[in-house]
């Protein structure tokens, strides 16, 4: 691999592919001039889009394939038959070391399953996890796992904590991110055994993160910690409940501003201030879920992201690639286990 960062793009994944993929890549190039792109997808669709963007085209290559993973494909189907699809080939480019990261806005389940099979987990990691950004009052937090693992044991949660902290250092630029375990009470006696055991193990002061203990659902939006760790079932429900609540309030707000003539006038007056609120919550500004714990970097964009959102997801890929996040995670996990092992050895002497 050259010094230039190469990102492999599933050009056919997402609601408005390939247009948004190409437009997003062009935007990202403005911010990351050292990035180059491999576009996997239909040449006939991609060529005209690149022809209109000579600077991008000069740093891009089209790799043709007719195969596409559809939004309805089961993960198992994708694993069996999707290797030659635009998604599969983007992952293969990462596996071969031809690209530093792969990005897709397509079928999440298929992407996770194929990535896991093709890239394999890092040494020391039992299961990869899906991590994403969440808007909070203090700025963005990170939550994982968001659905890759329905059932998790305490070892999984500990590994998620270490991986999430490494990711936060890389993409949020924090030296010592705070990490909390999602629970149904802040007291140490609350929750189930799995969570309590994970908390016991994370309560050490020699790590590259601060363990903040338990965090409850209402602490997420307050930004009570930088990284929220939970199993994939709870994380997925929490993420979607937060999104659903935001959508509920947006609808009620829109109704309120349409209710009377005065309210309509008010909306016009407050449009700019309310725009800032909208920006704060806009998923495009928090785009780029990451599949952590694999031998290779894989980013998932919202299927409905616009060009700015897609560019933000490319930014996440670039940040992770620059920081060599896979090595960072493997090192951190190894260090955690070494320190824990040393403590155990001391205790049993």
- Interface contacts to its own copies, rule CB under 8 A: 74, 135-137, 147, 150-151, 182, 184, 189, 191-192, 216-222, 230, 232-234, 236-249, 251-253, 255-257, 259-260, 262-263, 265-270, 272-274, 276-277, 280-281
- Could you tell me the smallest distance in angstroms from the CB atom of residue 97 to its own copies? 33
Which residues, 6+ apart, have CB-to-CB distance to 118 below 8 Å?
A: 83, 88, 91, 92, 95
Nearer to its own copies, 82 or 219 (CB): 219
Task: Find the shortest distance in angstroms from Cβ 81 to its own copies.
Answer: 18
Minimum CB distance to its own copies smaller for 172 or for 237: 237
Q: In what order do the strands lie in the sheet with 129-136?
A: 60-64, 35-41, 5-10, 101-104, 297-300, 289-292, 129-136, 139-144, 227-229, 178-182, 210-215
Give me the least distance between CB of 273 and its own copies, in Å please: 4
Quick one: 8 or 215, whose CB is closer to its own copies? Answer: 215
166 and 174 Cβ atoms separated by less than 8 Å: no
Residue 87: closest CA among 7, 6, 11: 11
Query: For residue 124, which of 156, 169, 167 has the smallest C-alpha distance?
Result: 156
Name the minimum Å distance from CB 261 to its own copies: 10
CA–CA dist 349, 347 (Å, integer):
6
* Selection from 130, 128, 81 nearest residue 104 by Cα: 130
Residue 1 or 150: the one with the smaller Cβ distance to its own copies is 150
Residue 84 CB neighbours (<10 A) = 13
Least CB distance to its own copies at residue 252 (A): 5
Q: Which of 5/239 has CB closer to its own copies?
A: 239
Closest by CA to 298, choosing from 81, 8, 3, is 8
- Minimal distance in Å, beta carbon 206 to its own copies? 30
Identify the CA nearest to 92 among candidates 57, 71, 129, 63: 63
Tokens 């092992």 label which residue? 341
Q: How far is the CB of 149 from its own copies (least distance, A)?
A: 11
**Shorter beta-carbon distance to its own copies: residue 239 or 311:** 239
87 or 239, CB closer to its own copies? 239
Per DSSP, helices labelled H in the chain are 19-31, 43-51, 54-58, 75-81, 86-95, 108-119, 154-171, 193-202, 217-221, 232-259, 261-281, 307-323, 325-348
β-strand pairing of 289-292 with 129-136: antiparallel
* Shortest spacing between CB 281 and its own copies, in angstroms: 7
Q: In this complex, which beta carbon is closest to its own copies, that of residue 182 or of residue 313?
A: 182
């Amino acid at each position: 691999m050259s010094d230039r960062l190469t990102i492999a793009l599933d050009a056919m994944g997402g609601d408005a592919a390939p247009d948004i993929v190409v437009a997003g890549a062009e935007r990202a190039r403005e911010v990351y001039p050292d990035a180059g792109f491999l576009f996997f997808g239909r040449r006939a669709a991609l060529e005209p889009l690149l022809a209109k963007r000579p600077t991008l085209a000069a740093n891009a290559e089209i790799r043709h394939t007719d195969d596409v993973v559809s939004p309805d494909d089961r993960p198992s189907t994708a694993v069996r038959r999707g290797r030659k699809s635009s998604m599969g080939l983007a992952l293969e480019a990462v596996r071969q070391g031809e690209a530093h990261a792969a990005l897709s806005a397509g079928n999440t389940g298929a992407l996770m399953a194929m990535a896991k099979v093709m890239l394999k987990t890092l040494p020391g990691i039992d299961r990869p996890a899906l991590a994403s950004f969440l808007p909070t009052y203090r700025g963005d937090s990170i939550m994982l796992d968001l659905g890759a693992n329905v059932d998790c044991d305490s070892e999984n949660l500990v590994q998620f904590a270490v991986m999430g902290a490494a990711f936060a250092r890389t993409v949020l630029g924090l030296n010592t991110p705070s990490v909390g375990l999602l629970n149904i009470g802040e007291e140490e006696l609350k929750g189930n055994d799995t969570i309590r055991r994970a908390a016991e193990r994370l309560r050490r002061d020699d790590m590259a993160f601060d363990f903040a203990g338990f965090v409850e659902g209402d602490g997420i939006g307050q930004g009570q910690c930088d990284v929220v760790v939970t199993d994939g079932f709870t994380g997925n429900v929490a993420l979607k409940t937060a999104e659903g609540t935001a959508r509920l309030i947006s609808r009620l707000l829109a109704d309120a501003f349409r209710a009377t003539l005065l309210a309509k006038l008010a909306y016009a007056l407050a449009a700019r201030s309310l725009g800032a609120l909208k920006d704060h919550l806009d998923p495009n500004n928090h785009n780029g879920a990451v599949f952590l714990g694999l031998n290779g970097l894989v980013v998932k964009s919202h299927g409905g992201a616009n060009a700015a959102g897609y560019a933000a997801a490319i930014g996440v890929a670039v940040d992770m690639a620059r920081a060599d996040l896979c090595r960072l995670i493997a090192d951190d996990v190894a260090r955690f286990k070494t320190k824990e092992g040393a403590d155990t050895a001391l205790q049993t002497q």
